[in-house]
Amino acid sequence: MSSNLATKLREGTKKAHTMAENVGFVKCFLKGVVEKTSYRKLVSNLYFVYSAMEEEMDRHSTHPILSKIYFPQLNRKNSLEQDLYFYYGSNWREQVAPSKAAQDYVQQIRNISATQPELLVAHSYTRYIGDLSGGQILKKIAQRAMNLAEGQGTAFYEFPEIPDEKAFKANYRQALNELPIDETTADRIVDEANATFGMNMKLFQELEGNLIKAIGQMLFNTLTRRRTAGSTELATAE
């Protein structure tokens, strides 16, 4: 059975993808303006999101649908812990807490895991394929903007267990297309992927206050004035 899910997800989320890339925080990031306070808050929020997603994927590792795209080598929780140690120090666990948007995102992951676990496919796709696709570009931007040495504060973008990211993405998309699902389920997964882009946008929008405070409203307005077509992936999928 082939649902063409990979193509449906790519085509069905194009608009949401472009909208996510036009959030001010993301536009500034892609132009090389990254402010450490807001960035480390993003890392903190992503830690809670990935922890929830990976716990639920692990819980459903033998599920007839989710087992087909269950790849622990994608997991980001440990790499995010490394980055949090770098940005906050050894007592980082006492310093970080999920923002309102992160709490809502985590709650959605928990809810669908309990009621419609097949929709976790949308969350896995949206986050991981985006990470694999744009990760190296974003790593270089972050390193330059925050003057980071190699191996400092950018573990999130590293996939040591995936030597060939392009081949892995091709295998992942094939696995999506071979999921034992019907058209209705495929459409629900696409809808959930669009909702996931919205949740990621809210994570980014929350961070704009800190960024504006650091760089000034005028520069922020200059950097974000023009709307651009989607180009690379920060938290999105190609």
pLDDT for 238 beyond 80:
no
- Is residue 107 within 8 Å of 48, Cβ to Cβ? no
pTM: 0.92
In tens, the pLDDT along 186-210 reads: 999 999 999 999 999 999 999 998 8
In this prediction, residue 236 carries a pLDDT of 41
Average pLDDT of span 214-220: 89
Please tell me whether residue 125 adopts helix, strand or coil conformation: helix
pLDDT tens-digit map of 146-175: 999 998 999 999 999 999 999 999 999 999
At residue 235 the predicted structure's pLDDT band, cuts being 50, 70 and 90, is very low
Q: Give me the pLDDT at residue 230, please.
A: 52
- For residue 227, the model assigns a pLDDT of 65
Whole-number Å distance between alpha carbons of 19 and 112: 24
- Helical H segments across 147-230, by residue range: 165-177, 183-206, 208-215, 217-224
Q: How far is CA 162 from CA 71, 107, 126, 157, 206, in A?
A: 10, 29, 18, 12, 32
pLDDT at 145: 94
Tokens of 191: 């809808």
Instruction: Measure the CA–CA gap between 109 and 124, rounded to whole angstroms.
Output: 10
Q: In angstroms, rounded to a whole number, what is the distance separating the alpha carbons of residues 191 and 212?
A: 32
